[in-house]
Structure 1
Amino acid sequence: MNIFESLLTSLKRASEVSVSIMKPRDEGEVTHSLMIFLFMLQNKGEIRISEISEHFGVTSGAATGIADKLEDLGLIERYRSKTDRRVVTLVLSEKGKKLVQDKKKEHVELYQYILHDFSEEELLKIIHMLNKISDRIDSYSNKGDI
């Protein structure tokens, strides 16, 4: 295995174990996939239903189903465009914002516990390297080469 295969294997494993520890543990809790969507919505501020379809690679009907479920749970609110009623925008409700904040706090505390024996210097180095990798991937993606 060459160095790049080892890197990809390590990144994949880190991603998989990170996802596994952040999955909801209680029955009835919002699923991991829905939580990812709520975090994305928090970062963007608002999102159109069509963007859900594109981002998650699902049909517009499935995207509407996701929105329906989150709206039924009181986690998002829908707004129709005043200029084009076909355009529906989603935003986090106050309950949704609180859930995202609580989950973020839970994840930070979890990683503080797991990585407690790493020095600040080591953590900063990891952050720097991961950001550098992400920037390179993003740059490559934006060139249209993918």
Structure 2
Amino acid sequence: MKQTNVFKLIHAIQQINNENIVKFTKAFQYPLGISPILVLAELSSKGPQRQVELADSVGYTKGAMTNIATKLVQLGLVERLYDEKDRRAIQLKITTAGEKALSEAQAIGNELFIEIFEVLSEEEIKQYLSIQEKLVKGVQEKKRKDVDKES
């Protein structure tokens, strides 16, 4: 029975995510998905970084990060910073236009979340938050254990 419920939960999560992606894509003026927006958020909060660092921090492959960076540069949302001493040492930096796009994406995201959660009571939101926090804690603990095993 538990297995069936897990698959129902996965399906429900996918339905909500898919609906949000469709709504977000229609509302957002840039031809970007969530992955590039996460990269913009990382650059906004931590400043210029090398693509390898960004790939590690957001959990993407180096190849995926190269594609994301190329698209963000082409749209003028990110710029490449070259080190005069080592031309191979390239960092990505969010531009003013990138900050504006990120702000717009966050505002749309907030609207979508408010729309989703408005059907829940205050008590249901507290329960949902508690469950999410428990899941995040479990994921973080598993990551720490995996890192400890590797060391």
Give the structure-2-normalised TM-score. 0.72
By relative contact order (CA 8 Å, sep 6+), the higher-ranking structure is 2
Count matched residues.
Answer: 143
Q: Indicate conservation of the 8 Å contact 2:83/2:89, yes or no.
A: yes
Q: Show the counterpart of 1:80.
A: 82
1: CA distance, partners of 2:7 / 2:82:
42
Report deviation, 1:82. Answer: 6.2
Q: Show the counterpart of 1:21.
A: 20
2: CA distance, partners of 1:122 / 1:90:
41
What stretches of structure 1 of length at least 5 have no aligned partner?
none
1: CA distance, partners of 2:61 / 2:5:
29
Q: Show the counterpart of 1:123.
A: 125
Indicate how the Cα distance of structure 1 residues 130 and 8 shifts in structure 2: closer, same or farther if over 3 A, else same. Answer: farther
User: Does structure 1 residue 57 correspond to structure 2 residue 61?
Assistant: yes
SS, match of residue 26 in structure 2: coil
Report deviation, 1:96. Answer: 0.9
What stretches of structure 2 of length at least 5 have no aligned partner?
none
Per residue, is there more helix in 1 or in 2?
2
Give the structure-1-normalised TM-score. 0.74
Partner deviation per Cα, 1:78-123 (whole Å, 9 max, x = no partner): 2234665432222221111111111111111122122213222321
2: CA distance, partners of 1:112 / 1:27:
17
Partner deviation per Cα, 1:31-88 (whole Å, 9 max, x = no partner): 21323433343454443211345532243xx533432221121111222346654322
SS, match of residue 25 in structure 1: helix
Report deviation, 1:7. Answer: 3.9
